[in-house]
A = this chain, B = another copy of it.
Amino acid sequence: MMTSDPHDPMHLAMIAAEAAAARGEVPVGAVIVGPDGRVITAQGNRILELKDPTAHAEILAIREAARSLGNERLTGCDLHVSLEPCAMCAGAISLARIRNLHFAAGDPKGGGVIHGGRFFEQPTCHHRPEVTQGHLAHVSSEMLKSFFRARRG
């Protein structure tokens, strides 16, 4: 995997995504960084492994960070995820009070941030993270393409 900086949280998200693929899960990885800049958790999809339809990387990371901080609000925490979050995860990110959301690749088929219901733009959304996108998008897209290519093959 070619990325610029091994200490980049998005690079860690890519590693978590790669590990998910090795478990047969769709390669998505998420990392939460605390207000002090330290990585709290890195998680990949575990839907099949846990037999849990909610076990997306973002949800596992949010739950683990909340457990680790002993608080259901992740105030000042940032989430780095390899793919645009779906509606479920966008909702969870808002409920968790994530400060900054960074996602790599956009997801026209299932995304809920810049596609679909665009949750953060809705009046029913009561906490909006700052959103940035595109960093390492090519790495994430290539990983997803090769995962689905191998499954079809």
Contact = CB atoms under 8 A, between A and B. Distances in A.
Contacts of A55: 72
A136 interface: no
Interface residues of A, number: 44
A110 B143 CA distance: 35
A103 B135 CA distance: 40
How many chain copies?
A: 2
Given A117-B117, A124-B110, A54 B48 contact: no
Nearest to A46: B72
A99 B119 CA distance: 23
Contact of A118 (B88, B89, B97, B117): B117
Interface of A: 47-48, 50-55, 59, 62-63, 66-67, 70-74, 86-92, 94-97, 108-112, 115-119, 122-126
Q: Which 8 pairs across A and B sit closest by C-beta, in order of nearness?
A: A117-B117, A88-B91, A116-B124, A87-B91, A116-B122, A53-B96, A53-B95, A53-B72
